[in-house]
Amino acid sequence: MTAVDIRRIHPLNRREGQDGPVVYWMSRDQRAMDNWALLHAQELALERRAPLVVLFTLAPSFLGATLRQYGFMLRGLAETAQLLAKMNIPFYLLRGEPVGQLCSFVERNRVGTVVTDFDPLRVKRVWREGAARLCGVPFFEVDSHNIVPCRFVSDKQEYGAHTLRPKLRRLLADFLHEFPPLIPHPHAWPVPFQPLDPQGILSDLYMDRSVSELSNPLPGTRAAGERLRSFIAQGLEDYGLRRNDPCCDGQSELSPWLHFGQLAPQRVALETVRTLSGSPSSEAFLDELIVRRELSDNFCLHNQAYDRLEGFPAWALKTLGEHRHDRREYLYTQEQFQDAETHDPLWNAAQRSLLLGGKMHGYLRMYWAKKILEWSASPEEALAVAIRLNDRYSLDGRDPNGYAGIAWSMGGVHDRAWGERPVFGKIRYMNDRGCRRKFDVDAYIRRWGE
């Protein structure tokens, strides 16, 4: 029996197997351990007695990412490269257009097979499909990011968490098990390779440097593991009581490492179950980690308009259209939103948490997005502003969770119609009074005040 469940593996072309080295084209899951795609690539290489190499293609630009995101990613990749070197697996970072760079490497090194990881975002799908078509070798995608593989659990866009949850629960026992180890690879890569120099790459990379790197959190698998252990020891037991209070620091804070694939969601789930199985807090946390996160991947996989108005359900498009020309009490420009210059101290505080800390509490992110809808001239403008701000400043931006969360807040995705009101129509509404019933708004404003 192979280590990797065949239901995780999705062939991207029908080419016959070939001799030669095996390449793992790392993209979304940027870690050496607990990585099903890398494990499958090693399986294939061991079967063929072939070398194994890991490639990462660094695109010239990526969905508005800035120095903040590139720095976190590259410093994490340097740690991953060191761990791989200890396993006799070289790591190469190739700069330039990803498909061309990959195919040139495959041809130059007479590679026999390429394995890559799963990502539902459009740009990544275009890269994978183009490479599978042009590289001339067998090409496999392996879902290392979802505990239950996204393509397997459902072949359609799910209406909401309540429709995906039972499907996941039926399959969870099949997939939620310990990872086999990555072993030192016995078949050496014949070409010398150099350690990854993240600072050198950052110094030479053309990008938006106006959004600075953060001193905290630290990138990499080691820091991710430390944060996971800290959360399980000190935060998990009270998670259900504290998670919706932005003043309590009751969330796991694992999202940057999960987004960059420096930590496997399956590892988080295994450690949670091992430590506090069956408690209300652990069940609430696992629902967020598994159901809500995998629902976002489902949305982006099966709705290619996930970041456009057309991706909203028909009832939401209808009600937003009917209220398109309603009078807005306040209207702000993109620059005013960006600089936290609205009339609302709570919204401004939430935006400053994004600007200065690279993150925003999940409950406030809903309020933040809904107010952008309320204070923008059109739903299209509001959606573009919210996505740009989230992707530009948040460490976990450019992620299915972000796109699904904004679509829920502004477009009723994974939600239902509510009572009708100006501007929002039947989209769920949030206001300051509702927030004050949930947490100490004034304390939060003081924390992130100017």
**42, part of any domain:** yes
Distances in Å between the Cα of 341 and the Cα atoms of 94, 348, 351, 374, 450 are 41, 7, 9, 15, 11
CA 150/CA 140 separation, integer angstroms: 15
Distances in Å between the Cα of 81 and the Cα atoms of 33, 186, 262, 429 are 11, 17, 12, 46
The CATH number of whichever domain residue 57 belongs to comes to 3.40.50.620
Range of the domain at 345: 309-447
Beta-strand runs (E) in 359-449: none
CA 119/CA 129 separation, integer angstroms: 12
Q: What pLDDT score was predicted for residue 1? A: 40
**264, part of any domain:** yes
* One domain for residues 165 and 110: no
CA 252/CA 230 separation, integer angstroms: 9
* One domain for residues 166 and 254: yes
What is the DSSP code string of 212-245?
A: ---SSSPPSHHHHHHHHHHHHHHTSTTHHHHTT-
**195, part of any domain:** no
**Which tokens hold the place of 393?**
């400043």
Q: What pLDDT score was predicted for residue 289? A: 96
The CATH number of whichever domain residue 155 belongs to comes to 1.25.40.80
Strand partners, 108: none
* One domain for residues 297 and 314: no
For the chain, residues with pLDDT lower than 70 are 1-2, 450
CA 271/CA 252 separation, integer angstroms: 13
Q: What pLDDT score was predicted for residue 2? A: 63
* One domain for residues 134 and 156: no
Domain edge (last residue) among 95, 120, 145: 145
* CA 78, chain centre distance (Å): 20
* One domain for residues 279 and 151: yes
CA 73/CA 50 separation, integer angstroms: 29
Reduced to 3 states (helix: H, G, I; strand: E, B; else coil), residue 116 is strand
**441, part of any domain:** yes
Q: What pLDDT score was predicted for residue 242? A: 87
* One domain for residues 338 and 407: yes
**26, part of any domain:** yes
* One domain for residues 315 and 430: yes
The CATH number of whichever domain residue 398 belongs to comes to 1.10.579.10
* One domain for residues 298 and 417: no
Domain edge (last residue) among 265, 281, 304: 304
**192, part of any domain:** no
**Which tokens hold the place of 314?**
């028909």
* One domain for residues 326 and 439: yes
* One domain for residues 20 and 135: yes
List Cβ neighbours of 234 (8 Å cut-off, separation of 6 or more).
none
Burial 19-53 (b: 16+ CB within 10 A, else e): ebbbbbbbbbbbbbbbbbbbbbbbbbbeebebbbb
Amino acid at 361: H
**Which tokens hold the place of 221?**
């698998």
Domain count, the chain: 3
* One domain for residues 158 and 126: no
Domain edge (last residue) among 304, 331, 360: 304
CA 320/CA 374 separation, integer angstroms: 11
Burial 271-297 (b: 16+ CB within 10 A, else e): bbeeebeeeebbebbbeebbbbbbbbb
* One domain for residues 117 and 157: no
**202, part of any domain:** no
**38, part of any domain:** yes
